[in-house]
Structure 1
């Protein structure tokens, strides 16, 4: 296979804030794998929380370029095993695994959801994320982007005031993501008030390793709690089943579609709700997530909607959340920049 790597700085329409950081752009790596005249594309973004940079990913992948070139590509899961054996970070593996899946589908001229035997006639609507900012700015974001479901980023000493104010501007469902900023006592106290304000669930309110606190929430929170930072790789799913009502899978963190498919299956077998989230990817990464939609209960795939300019075509998300799937194979991705 022929390998190509290209880095991008994706500019955001507005500053995006969470409890631990804010940013105006997102660095991203696009990996391309070409075989028999077809090219598959994958993506992984940088992430300071996990110590991931685009130059670091490029160095890792370039270290096995010759072996990728000589790899006898048959199907993505075997290629994924090869990448794991080479000791790459999950973010680097994700970029290559997504490219391999896109390539695999294009070689067969079938979308991935069709290869997996799933039906796209019914799928969850993506939420639209309102990054943490001043109350005025967060309210302005809602006014300028009417949407049926919002994920609200919190993590301040006035979180309830934020939600009360935002509720004035929309009847949409709310999902709350505190990105590890709350305590167990704070979460238990906030949950009934947030439920009255139309909140559907809470995402990762406590620090990732606060299992004792999460056990308290499992028994005392009136709102379901979804794991994010506590659920990174496949081995985390079983542990989360004892403390959370569901999991949010990030392709970059777990290493791509190959492990994500197994995580979805395991979580469902354990009675958990399943969500897949994004990391402010372009349409390259979002199109890969969209292939999983028929298997999900919730999804957060608004990354490309937050950009001033996209770098690819593929799956489209229309106003209100309708998803348009291209009929091309794989994830249906083509680069435009």
Structure 2
């Protein structure tokens, strides 16, 4: 296979803030794998929380470049196992795994959702994320992007008041993501107030390792709670099933589509709701997520909508969340 790596610096439309960080730009690594006249594309973004940079991923991949380029590619699952055996980080494996699946589908001439035996006739609508900001700016972002579902980032001293104010300006469904900023007591107290304000569920309100707190929340919260930072890899699904109502899978964190498919299967066997989220990827990464939509209950794939300028063509997200699926096989990605 031919391998190429390219760093992009994605400029955001607005400063994006969550409970622990803010940024105006997102560094991302795009991987291209070429074989038999077809090229597959994958992506992983940098992440300070997990101490991942584009440079660190590039160094990892280049260290085994010759082995990747001489690899006899047949199935993405086998390629993923090959990469796992090389002890690459999950973020680096993800970029390569997404590229491998895109390549595989293009070689087969079919979109991945079809190769996986699903139909794209019905799919969940992505939420649109409103990051932490002064309330007037949060309202302005909603008015700039009228949407049926908003994910509201919280983790301030007046979280319920923020939601009360936002509710005055829209009838949309709200989802709340506190990014580990609340205590168990705060979560249990906030839940009924937020439920009355039209909130659908809470995402990762507590620290990722606060299992005692999550036990209390699981027993007492009137709103469903979805695991994010507590659910990183496949092995986390079973434990999260005892403390959460659902899981949010991030491709970069779990190492790509290959393990994500297994996580979805396991979660459904346990009766959990399944969501896939994004990490402010471009359309390269978002198009991979889109292939999983028929298998999901919820999705957060608005990364490309948050950018001033996208770098790729693929899944098209129209006003109100309607999707235009690409005609190409695989994830359907081409670079601009």
TM category, shorter: over 0.9
SS in 1 for 2:248: strand
Q: Which residue of 1 aligns with 2:36?
A: 36
Q: Which residue of 1 aligns with 2:61?
A: 61
Structure 1 runs not aligned, ≥5 long: none
Q: Deviations over 1:218-263 (max 9, x none)?
A: 1100000000000000000000000000000000000000000000
Determine the C-alpha separation between the residues in 2 that align with 1:140 and 1:161.
Answer: 17
1:271 maps to 2:267 = no
- Cα shift at 1:13: 0.3
Q: Which residue of 2 aligns with 1:216?
A: 216
After superposing the two structures, state which structure 1 stretch, 134-143 or 254-263, moved more: 134-143
Determine the C-alpha separation between the residues in 1 that align with 2:333 and 2:99.
Answer: 10
Determine the C-alpha separation between the residues in 1 that align with 2:145 and 2:2.
Answer: 41
SS in 1 for 2:32: strand
Q: Which residue of 1 aligns with 2:74?
A: 74
Q: Which residue of 2 aligns with 1:314?
A: 314
Determine the C-alpha separation between the residues in 2 that align with 1:130 and 1:232.
Answer: 23
- Cα shift at 1:179: 0.1
Q: Which residue of 1 aligns with 2:147?
A: 147
Q: Deviations over 1:62-94 (max 9, x none)?
A: 000000011010010000000000000000000
Q: Which residue of 1 aligns with 2:130?
A: 130
- Cα shift at 1:328: 0.7
SS in 2 for 1:320: helix
- Cα shift at 1:326: 0.9
SS in 2 for 1:258: helix
- Cα shift at 1:144: 1.0
Aligned length: 336
Determine the C-alpha separation between the residues in 2 that align with 1:171 and 1:300.
Answer: 19
Q: Which residue of 2 aligns with 1:181?
A: 181
1:294 maps to 2:294 = yes
Determine the C-alpha separation between the residues in 1 that align with 2:4 and 2:143.
Answer: 41
1:253 maps to 2:245 = no
- Cα shift at 1:36: 0.3
Question: Deviating runs (4+, > 3 A) in structure 1?
Answer: none
SS in 1 for 2:320: coil
Determine the C-alpha separation between the residues in 1 that align with 2:122 and 2:107.
Answer: 26
Q: Which residue of 2 aligns with 1:45?
A: 45
Q: Which residue of 1 aligns with 2:12?
A: 12
Q: Deviations over 1:21-49 (max 9, x none)?
A: 00001000000000001000000000000
TM-score by length of 1: 0.99
Structure 2 runs not aligned, ≥5 long: none
Determine the C-alpha separation between the residues in 2 that align with 1:318 and 1:75.
Answer: 33
Q: Which residue of 2 aligns with 1:243?
A: 243
**RMSD, aligned α-carbons:** 0.3
Determine the C-alpha separation between the residues in 1 that align with 2:91 and 2:231.
Answer: 15
Q: Which residue of 1 aligns with 2:205?
A: 205
Determine the C-alpha separation between the residues in 2 that align with 1:210 and 1:285.
Answer: 30
